[in-house]
Amino acid sequence: MPGFPNVRLANRPLHFIYLCDCSGSMAAQGKMQSLNQAIRQSLPGMTRVARDNPEARVLVRAVSFADQAHWHIAEPTPVEGLQWRDLQANGCTAMGAALELVAEQLHTPPMEERALPPVLVLISDGQPTDDFDAGLARLMREPWAQKAVRLAIALGHDADLEVLQQFIGPAPANQRERSPRRPLQASNATSLAQYIQWASTAVVGAASMPTSRLGGSHDDGNIPLPDLPPTEMDPMDDVGPMVW
């Protein structure tokens, strides 16, 4: 009787990529500081979720975009070993370039054939200043981008909800329905932190589970997304420390 063969069994990588707007306007009203703090504070929760789902190997990366797009964390980094370095705000909003940068990495290889659908979180407070359409088209040519869970967080009133919606994909038919398949509007540091926490824990948990869904059904997006956190949507009603 032969012994167990020398094959590579592996848990499935779950790539989680932040795309962070670092344009000059992010320096205003403490937005950049709030974003850095929200991501840093979310890491312990994300680590717990990763530990609870050992079948998924959560790997984090981040892109910053201002005048140009750069990998802020270029290596897919296991969340338990991640140390967040603060992003700095300065320049324009090269969102299209950021999408192209991510597209290059969502190709197989370097993407693993057996990876779970990646999670892409786009965070912005303004409008793209470069060719967003070309960047999005380039991104969406990659099958892994099409399979990805694409979320967007709009900081304040000036964020371009239309381009963020294009990044996410078609919005749910019910206009009144609160849905993660629409841009999540963070009106202050508290709601931003809640959304970042939700994306890095609840969404990562859902994306880690070995479940299937029906072909041809787009009701849930690419994975069944968990409920949104109970955050006030209307900034006028918000009780956070500062309204953006």
Which parts of this chain interact with another protein (CB under 8 A)? Answer: 1-2, 4-12, 53-56, 108-109, 112-114, 116-117, 143, 146-147, 149, 209-218, 220-224
The CA-atom distances, in angstroms, between 39 and each of 1, 23, 143, 228 are 51, 18, 27, 17
Strand, coil or helix: what is 123? Answer: strand
Query: 9 or 173: whose CB is closer to another protein?
Result: 9
Tell me the H-state helices in 15-94: 31-52
Q: Which is nearer to another protein, 148 or 164 (CB)?
A: 148
Q: Report the distance separating Cα 75 and Cα 217, nearest Å.
A: 33
CB contact at 8 A, 197 and 13: no
Q: Please identify, using beta-carbon distances, which residue of 88 and 179 lies nearer to another protein.
A: 179
- Tell the smallest beta-carbon distance from residue 32 to another protein (Å): 32
Write the single-letter amino acid at 175.
Answer: Q
Tokens of 207: 């994306």
d(CA 118, CA 95): 19
The smaller minimum CB distance to another protein, of residues 117 and 183, is found at 117
When the beta carbons of 55 and 158 are compared against another protein, the nearer one is: 55
Q: Is 164 left (phi over 0), alpha (psi -120 to 50) or beta?
A: alpha
- Nearest-approach distance from CB 75 to another protein, in angstroms: 19
What's the longest Cα–Cα distance across the chain? Answer: 71
CB of 71 to another protein, least distance (A): 24
Give the nearest distance from C-beta 164 to another protein in angstroms: 20
* Residue 20 near residue 35 (C-beta atoms within 8 A): yes
Q: How far is the CB of 37 from another protein (least distance, A)?
A: 31
